[in-house]
Chain A
């Protein structure tokens, strides 16, 4: 079933009776060519690109809960390619290009909105570093515009420009940055993978990974054993638990990241605004709610709810930056489990077990990476080689200390990112 304006019109006139389910609900087969554990954004996009780019369609995605029920359905939906380090820049650049063609590719409305993202700076030193970051983005072929104070004021007249602690010196505008509808990304990839023959199996928890003579042979699940010569672990915050089934200990600590949304308001914030000094960022959803968040709670947690101190901090930072939002009522807050890595960058790599692949460590930035992560993971699984867009997300970089991707320059250590 393809979506089109004509189809919407026709269905509207005939009582919307012609719509069908977006994907099948198949029983697991006894064997597949490849199994992906985790039907989140990254797992579903991996399945999609395995089928589309590499013709591997005899594959299954196993999900212990429901499809798209993890972080891909509970993030703040920001899409950007404003990284600085080689290794990251080409990867996120590729991801943004995939985003820009995603709706046509998937025939699915993911509501990708390139409304522009502005990172504010508050001192001469910060301006220099943002100018440098902007140059790195331009060198990568992406876009960046360094705005002075008046330039920011023109776009964001509602900020507090009288703040003495964090005076606004300007901002780095990334015009192609923006937001997308998070659930639709999961659904679009799921539908695309299903149409190409991929089995999406929900309510199927992996309880063991079968390994013989250093090679993966399949998985044990709550719905029986399933054989496969290639298995990918794409489970974000639950990486440690799944990797432990293969006897692996991984460089990940799981932490809660909170987000908040207000009641629906008329259009007031037209961009994504990031206030790094206050660890605060905000955008407005198409429905009108202000969607905002801050930093992680900074201690290991699987609680999927946050602590009040960070909620208070985020509200204070928001009020510091844009006092006008003070009367908006917060409707909901929630927490997702982030797979934090020591250097703040992810892993897309093989493991020491033949046929077992690992995709993890997305920290608090996994959403924008969904297309390229799947693209590169699929490339690795199908060909055995790293994609040209993701050559440095290697698992052993922590052990060797070589080629760490410490974007923030704070050191490769848990609890710093």
Chain B
């Protein structure tokens, strides 16, 4: 699997650190409640198919990247900078 960094182009997967589900960038309010925080920290959709997750270009430009990919085929569908993904949130 190779990931396309929005800054650096297509790079070896080993340059990236996997954080997990892209909901990591949707941090809830501190007083959001136990269930909201449990869902944020632990519970996962964990789809067999298209997912969005957060990667860090650790051995490259240090960008945080939201990757849309297929967990069954390892196909990479889209990669965007996490800042842009965050600003594009509804």
In the assembled complex, A113 has its CB within 8 A of some CB on chain B: no
In the assembled complex, B31 has its CB within 8 A of some CB on chain A: no
In the assembled complex, B14 has its CB within 8 A of some CB on chain A: yes
* Chain B binder among A96-104, A154-162, A294-302: A294-302
- Chain A residues with CB under 8 A of B44: 240, 249-253, 414
Q: Is the CB of A251 within 8 A of B43?
A: yes
In the assembled complex, A241 has its CB within 8 A of some CB on chain B: yes
Q: Is the CB of B53 within 8 A of A299?
A: yes
In the assembled complex, B47 has its CB within 8 A of some CB on chain A: yes
Q: Is the CB of B53 within 8 A of A300?
A: yes
Q: Is the CB of A301 within 8 A of B19?
A: no
Q: Is the CB of A250 within 8 A of B43?
A: yes
Residues of A in contact with B, size category: 20 to 34
A170 to B42, CA, bound (A): 37
Name the interface residues of B42-73: CB closer than 8 Å to any CB of A.
Answer: 42-48, 51, 53, 71-73
In the assembled complex, B8 has its CB within 8 A of some CB on chain A: no
Q: Is the CB of B46 within 8 A of A398?
A: no
Across the interface, name the chain B residue whose C-beta is closest to A240.
B46
In the assembled complex, B28 has its CB within 8 A of some CB on chain A: no
Interface centre among B20, B35, B53 (most CB of A within 10 A): B20
Q: Is the CB of B41 within 8 A of A252?
A: no
- Chain A residues with CB under 8 A of B1: 307
State the main secondary structure of chain A at its contact with B: mixed
Binary A-proximity of B12-33 (CB < 8 A = 1, otherwise 0):
1110001111000000000000
In the assembled complex, A222 has its CB within 8 A of some CB on chain B: no
In the assembled complex, A135 has its CB within 8 A of some CB on chain B: no
A241 to B41, CA, bound (A): 19
Q: Is the CB of A415 within 8 A of B20?
A: yes
In the assembled complex, A254 has its CB within 8 A of some CB on chain B: yes
In the assembled complex, B88 has its CB within 8 A of some CB on chain A: no
Q: Is the CB of A302 within 8 A of B34?
A: no
In the assembled complex, A139 has its CB within 8 A of some CB on chain B: no
- Chain B residues with CB under 8 A of A244: 45
- Chain A residues with CB under 8 A of B34: 399-400
Q: A254-B71, A302-B71, A398-B41 are in contact. Are A415 and B46 (CB under 8 A)?
A: no
Q: Is the CB of B41 within 8 A of A413?
A: yes
CB distance from B24 to the nearest CB of A (A): 9
Q: Is the CB of B20 within 8 A of A414?
A: yes
- Chain B residues with CB under 8 A of A251: 42-44
A300 to B47, CA, bound (A): 9
In the assembled complex, A15 has its CB within 8 A of some CB on chain B: no
Q: Of A238, A239, A240, A399, which is within 8 A of B38 by CB?
A: A399
In the assembled complex, A319 has its CB within 8 A of some CB on chain B: no
Q: Is the CB of B72 within 8 A of A302?
A: yes
A393 to B86, CA, bound (A): 36
Q: Is the CB of A303 within 8 A of B41?
A: no
Q: A249-B39, A398-B38, A415-B20 are in contact. Are A307 and B13 (CB under 8 A)?
A: yes
In the assembled complex, A309 has its CB within 8 A of some CB on chain B: yes
In the assembled complex, A342 has its CB within 8 A of some CB on chain B: yes
- Chain A residues with CB under 8 A of B14: 309
Q: Is the CB of B73 within 8 A of A303?
A: yes
CB distance from A190 to the nearest CB of B (A): 26
Name the interface residues of A371-417: CB closer than 8 Å to any CB of B.
Answer: 398-400, 412-415
Q: Is the CB of A300 within 8 A of B51?
A: yes
CB distance from B53 to the nearest CB of A (A): 6
Could you name 28 residue pairs across A and B whose Cβ atoms are closer than 8 Å?
A: A238-B48, A239-B46, A240-B44, A240-B46, A240-B47, A241-B48, A249-B45, A250-B43, A250-B46, A252-B44, A253-B46, A298-B18, A299-B53, A300-B46, A300-B51, A301-B71, A301-B74, A302-B48, A303-B73, A307-B1, A307-B13, A309-B12, A342-B42, A398-B38, A398-B41, A399-B38, A414-B42, A415-B18
Q: Which 6 A-B pairs have the closest CB atoms?
A: A240-B46, A251-B42, A299-B18, A399-B38, A249-B43, A398-B42
- Given A398-B42, A415-B19, 7 additional A-B pairs, CB 8 A: A240-B44, A244-B45, A249-B45, A252-B44, A299-B18, A307-B74, A399-B34
